[in-house]
Structure 1
Amino acid sequence: MSNHKFGRRELLLLSAASALLPQSAMSDDVIDLAWADLLPEGQTALPRSLQGIIEHDSAEQFGQQPVATGVRTDWNGKTVRMPGFIVPLELDGTGVTSFILVPYVGACVHVPPPPANQLVLVTTEKPYQSDGLFESVEVTGMFGTAALKTQLADIGYVISADKVAPY
């Protein structure tokens, strides 16, 4: 696990995206999102890798991150709950404070990352004691769209997490 810190540009973009989310949007209503919900309206087909089919020897796996076909803004400023897997970016002691939530094990690590509209940057004030890359988690917090670039991948969404728990 690396102790990756965001660059100045990434932090500015994250701050700008967070500022667009109304602080009063927190409510008792939590929206459960699935990964397919993050695809643009009318797009129903997930990439094969997001359907649980990872063809390690295909040409697609040796390429770069696929181009996203857009993002959804339906849940900006809303409290959502999403399952996924952790790709850690920042640590505080032994806990993770910033990570990419990915739809399947190994995304961004063993194979090219999914499109930006299938990646969520999660930040949390309370470090989460992760058991590693193969741990599935459920994240609850304020959702928003973003256009972020990290060393691992472009990211289309952010969640400011109130809660990160094993799934």
Structure 2
Amino acid sequence: MVHPSRRRVLALIATALVPGPALARSFREITWDDLIPAGVPYGEIIGPGRIDAVNDTWVPQFDENAAKVNTALDGQAVKLPGYIIPFDVGSGGVTSFMLVPYVGACIHTPPPPPNQLVFVTTATPRPSESLWDPVWVSGKLSAKAMSTEIAEVGYQLTAEKIETYEW
């Protein structure tokens, strides 16, 4: 009869005592290109646009491809890099924000197309003094459109982990 080693028994006991959510989850690292459905070239998402002379800004014109999302990512555990545009900020930090592909998107420039915007909520606030730093956001992605005061959004993500992006 083979007896399990002491180390194996202790490992099994430790695993049984750790609650499910505390176990490390594997996140699939994706890029912004992955958010665009296969067969939809980025060049076909943004049309010619126009100048808003009153507000002195460029207003892009999106075609129907801009709202198309990659439904294969719906419900997936993903890790996506980007920049934070804060929505809800409290004393502990930011609890909801728009994740955008480049710094200043939606604030100093016209917003990217909906399928290049991710609305993020988190139970663990991100300190507000580091909002200009690029981040990795890991969590469950939902290919679900929503409208905000800044832009139309193609995705939502419930963040489990937010960390500074290291070059």
Tell me whether 1:45 sits opposite 2:42 in the alignment: yes
Tell me whether 1:128 sits opposite 2:126 in the alignment: yes
Distance verdict in 2 for CA 1:113–1:130, change over 3 Å: same
TM-score normalised according to structure 2 size? 0.71
Q: 2:59 aligns with which of 51, 57, 63?
A: 63
Cα contact 1:148–1:156 (8 A) shared by 2? yes
Tell me whether 1:140 sits opposite 2:138 in the alignment: yes
The residue identity in structure 2 corresponding to 1:92 is: G
Q: Could you say which residue in structure 2 is the equivalent of 1:53? A: none
Cα contact 1:84–1:101 (8 A) shared by 2? yes
TM-score normalised according to structure 1 size? 0.71
Distance verdict in 2 for CA 1:135–1:65, change over 3 Å: farther
Q: 2:26 aligns with which of 23, 26, 29?
A: 29
Q: 2:103 aligns with which of 97, 102, 105?
A: 105
Structure 1 segments unaligned to the other structure (5+ residues): 1-23, 50-57
Larger radius of gyration: 2
Q: Could you say which residue in structure 2 is the equivalent of 1:153? A: 151
> How many Å separate the matches in 2 of 1:76 and 1:27?
20
Structure 2 segments unaligned to the other structure (5+ residues): 1-20
Q: Could you say which residue in structure 2 is the equivalent of 1:165? A: 163
Cα contact 2:69–2:143 (8 A) shared by 1? yes
Shift of 1:65: 6.3
SS of match in other structure, 1:131:
helix
Cα contact 2:67–2:154 (8 A) shared by 1? no
What are the superposed Cα offsets for residues 32-64 of structure 1, whole Å, 9 maximum, x if unpaired?
1100000121123358x9xxxxxxxx8495115
Q: How many percent of aligned residue pairs carry the same amino acid?
A: 40
Choose between structure 1 and 2 for higher RCO, CA contacts under 8 A separated by at least 6 residues. Answer: 1
Shift of 1:30: 1.4
Q: Could you say which residue in structure 2 is the equivalent of 1:73? A: 71
Cα contact 1:90–1:97 (8 A) shared by 2? yes
Cα contact 1:106–1:133 (8 A) shared by 2? no
Shift of 1:148: 0.6
Q: Work out the number of aligned pairs and report it.
A: 135
